[in-house]
Amino acid sequence: MSATDTERFDHLRVLGLSDDEIKVYQHLLRTGPSSITELDEAVPDRAATIDATLGGLVQAGLARRSGSDHARFLPVPPDAGLEAMTLRRESELKQARIEVLNAYDEFRRTVHNESTTHLIEVVTGNAIVERIHQIKGGAQREILAIDSPPYYIGGPNQEEIDHLKRGVSYRVVYSPESVEVPGYLTENILPCVEAGEQARVLPDVPAKLTIIDGSVAFVSMSVRDTDVNRSLLIIRPSSLLTALIGMFELCWRNALPLHASVGAEDDRLEPIERRLLALLATGAADDTIARTLGISRRTFFRYLERLMNRTGASTRFQLALHAARENWL
């Protein structure tokens, strides 16, 4: 079997075809119309009869009878058949997911109904990154996060961008320390915001926290509590998870938007001034803001002075209050 045949075999198996059906179908693709006898001889190593195998291919919409006596079979354009198989397979996977979740809930209610150890999992060392990818990869609706260094995973956050593309919403509260990590603002935060993430910043965050679909959470200490990643707690449905969701919502309500509101219009503001205000709200250092905007420190201070004169603010805090009140943030 060639590499191409092997790959096709694996793909057809994913769609739900049996090994026998795949072997016969691949033979039809290579040879064209064949009789039952020819197929029976050409594909001898089967668990099912040739009639049952061909019946499965016909039902799947991948083959049909041909000839005046309908004694031969040939492959047909698979569009409709593949679509039906794909939908059926998706339905089966959804049902299987429901059954597994129900089985675990039953296990939790009966076998471990007096134990709480399964509600909290402690992960350490190299296993942390693997568990994060494993659980976040299954996100379906929403991810909530309180973001603070130190980080388990470096570089651009392609996983989040992929999630956003397939409809998973993100609300993230950043700590000022996040923005100060070299390259994190431009390589991680801003690309995610541009992809659809709702982002805010809070001067003091209580912990590093990620909540997936309201059903599981990761918790670890922020950079103010530890310099390195030592352990990660995975919290499953419980009163503790409910409290963590409430903590996130409280932080979200008290945080400032990290970027200019979509659709906000004000003739008095230039685009670069909106961006500057958004970066100021993060608590980023002056050098970081200037570098992100691609301007010199001198130009940065000129824009800042102009904004403060325009709003009558004497401090950056007053400028931030005015920007929030005017819906500039």
The reply to whether 2 falls in a domain is yes
The reply to whether 61 falls in a domain is yes
Same domain, 248 and 141: yes
Three-class DSSP labels, the chain:
CCHHHHHHHHHHHHCCCCHHHHHHHHHHHHHCCEEHHHHHHHCCCCCCCHHHHHHHHHHCCCEEEECCCCCEEEECCCHHHHHHHHHHHHHHHHHHHHHHHHHHHHHHHHCCCCCCHHHEEEEECCHHHHHHHHHHCCCCCEEEEEECCCCCCCCCCHHHHHHHHCCCEEEEEECHHHHHCCCHHHHHHHHHHHHCCEEEECCCCCCEEEEECCCEEEEECCCCCCCCCCEEEEECCCHHHHHHHHHHHHHHHHCEECCCCCCCCCCCCCHHHHHHHHHHHCCCCHHHHHHHHCCCHHHHHHHHHHHHHHHCCCCHHHHHHHHHHCCCC
Sheet containing strand 34-35, strands side by side:
34-35, 72-75, 63-66
Does the N-terminal peptide bond of residue 150 adopt cis geometry, omega within 30 degrees of 0?
Answer: yes
- Domain of 29, CATH number, reads 1.10.10.10
The reply to whether 263 falls in a domain is no
Q: Is the pLDDT of residue 115 over 60?
A: no
CB proximity list for 107: less than 8 A, separation 6 or greater:
none
Over pLDDT 70: what percentage of the chain?
A: 79
Question: Of 140, 206, 196, nearest to 173 (Cα)?
Answer: 206
Number of folded domains that form the chain: 3
State the CB neighbour count (10 A cutoff) for residue 302.
Answer: 12
pLDDT, tens digit (0-9, with 9 covering 90-100), for 229-278 = 567 889 988 888 999 999 999 889 888 777 644 444 455 678 788 878 87
- What pLDDT shows up at residue 212? 94
State the CB neighbour count (10 A cutoff) for residue 312.
Answer: 9
Same domain, 51 and 90: yes
Residue that finishes a domain, picked among 53, 82, 114:
114
The reply to whether 38 falls in a domain is yes
Same domain, 184 and 80: no
Q: Rounded mean pLDDT of 305-318?
A: 81
Same domain, 241 and 282: no
Residue that finishes a domain, picked among 257, 287, 314:
257
- Domain of 196, CATH number, reads 3.30.870.10
- What pLDDT shows up at residue 220? 82
Same domain, 129 and 249: yes
- 248 and 214 in contact (C-beta within 8 Å)? no
| Token pair in block for residue 46 | 């089967």
Distance of CA 306 to the CA centre of its chain: 41
The reply to whether 218 falls in a domain is yes
Same domain, 51 and 27: yes
Domain hosting 283: range is 271-326
Same domain, 106 and 10: yes
- What pLDDT shows up at residue 131? 84
Q: Rounded mean pLDDT of 275-296?
A: 80
> What's the rounded Cα separation, in Å, for the pair 192 and 165?
11
Same domain, 188 and 83: no
The reply to whether 28 falls in a domain is yes
CB proximity list for 136: less than 8 A, separation 6 or greater:
143, 159, 163, 210, 212
Same domain, 253 and 130: yes
Q: Rounded mean pLDDT of 170-193?
A: 86
Same domain, 164 and 209: yes
Length of the chain in residues, anyone?
329
Q: Rounded mean pLDDT of 275-291?
A: 79
- 55 and 45 in contact (C-beta within 8 Å)? no
* pTM tops 0.85: no
- What pLDDT shows up at residue 102? 66
Residue that finishes a domain, picked among 233, 257, 281:
257
The reply to whether 265 falls in a domain is no
Same domain, 55 and 79: yes
Q: Rounded mean pLDDT of 163-177?
A: 92
Same domain, 297 and 201: no
The reply to whether 264 falls in a domain is no
